[in-house]
Amino acid sequence: MSVEKVSVVIVQLRYQYRIALTPGQRIRAARVFGCRRVVWNDALAVQKLRKASNKLLGNPKARLAEGPYQPVPKNAELGKTLITAAKKSAEREFLSDAPVGVMQQTLRDLDGAWKAHEDSKTGNRRGPKVAPPRFKSKKDNRQTARFTRSDRFSVTDGGRLRLPKIGEVRVKWSRDLPSAPSSVTLIKDCSGRYWVSFVVETDPAADMLPPTDRDQGIDLGLDRFAVLADGSQIASPKYLRRAEKKLKKRQRELSRKKKGSSNRDKARIKVARAHAKVADSRRNFHHQWSHKLTRENQAVFTETLNVRGGLARTRLAKSVHDAGWAQFVTFCEYKAIRRGRSSAKVARDFPSSQICSACGYCDGPKPLHIRAWTCANCGTRHDRDWNAGRNVLHEGRRIRAADTTAPPTPGPGASRR
């Protein structure tokens, strides 16, 4: 009798909620942030010193009178010296104000930062180069602390979150957690708001949608946020442009305050809140449309955007930032994966604005001010953006037909919406 093994795929997602802290809890949270910062800086100082001395020892021209090559200390060694032993000293006894698990997680986060830096240098990490870890300052506007299961955080029957060394905090539950969280991160953003981010494990089959025969090509722009292959459009909300007057006023108030004063800090928070409102509105807009498109279509095709090229043009940089194309495309990709849909990007050099979607004739490049044109081959009159959306759809179908691999499963850290 043979037993067939069934593989179970588990997906990690993040659920983020706003929380309200009392004045006393804010003080205790600040202590936890401070302890985490001190452990990070102490560990980074030890590692940088050891790396610098080893680098000199590896240089045949360097003459050192002391010490052979020594490996960079591991987390276990750093934890004994910088956490356990340090708490017994008068200089670092305040480390008892933070859970041990938070400080141990800080050492693991520092290891991850070094690994990302080394992988980016050797080419094992895609994307731009990652700078080495830097020392943290108490003046940093964004603070975080991650609590793991070893810290024994819990959600009470009354719906409050119990965090060690901080207490029971009120959470604005916008949706239920699908399972017990494995970790929770306490976040203080630049505008002074507090959040908690839970990492939970879910079954990907629960989010799958029944298949449909519809697909969609998307041409992203600035004047109109998106023009779809079916002829519909998504108007550009231009949240940053609409908030410019208020942002300029807040920025002028900040520039007139004396540096280092409490009034300047209050003015800085007002500026941060104005920017946070713009970012939140843009993110909500992207979530709504990416949700709608991935729910109604089996496949969603977009362009491979040259965002850096758009930012290099000072005349378009603010509008490109305001549109937030990269965030929208990312939302479409991970939501398509979670729902059993597919997504694809056409190549950056694909001439979507030059090809006639009716006959396939390439009419050559056109300046941006030409918004409509007539095909020289078949005489079809085209709207530039709608024609590009149809070409993206045709190219996306070709890419999808050529791709025989199964859709990937979402990895750890995928957002939940």
Q: Is residue 226 within 8 Å of 220, Cβ to Cβ?
A: yes
Residue 177 CA to residue 198 CA, distance in Å, equals: 9
Q: Is residue 344 within 8 Å of 400, Cβ to Cβ?
A: yes
Q: Is residue 331 within 8 Å of 286, Cβ to Cβ?
A: yes
Q: Is 303 a catalytic residue?
A: yes
DSSP state at residue 82: I
Catalytic residue among 42, 151, 219, 322: 219
Residue 34 has φ and ψ, to the nearest 5°, of -65, -40
Catalytic residue among 42, 333, 385, 395: 385
Q: Is 219 a catalytic residue?
A: yes
Catalytic residue among 303, 322, 333, 395: 303
Residue 175 has φ and ψ, to the nearest 5°, of -160, 160
Beta bridge partners of 143: 188
CA proximity to 294, closest of 202, 357, 218: 218
- Cα distances (Å, whole numbers) of residue 245 to 96, 148, 252, 284, 317: 47, 43, 11, 22, 18
Helix or strand (DSSP H, E) at 307: helix 307-312
Helix or strand (DSSP H, E) at 284: helix 262-296
Extract the tokens encoding 347. Answer: 């190549």
Give the angle subtended at the CA of 77 by the CAs of 72 and 78, to the nearest 5°: 80
Looking up tokens 């731009």 gives 128
Positions annotated as catalytic residues are: 219, 303, 385
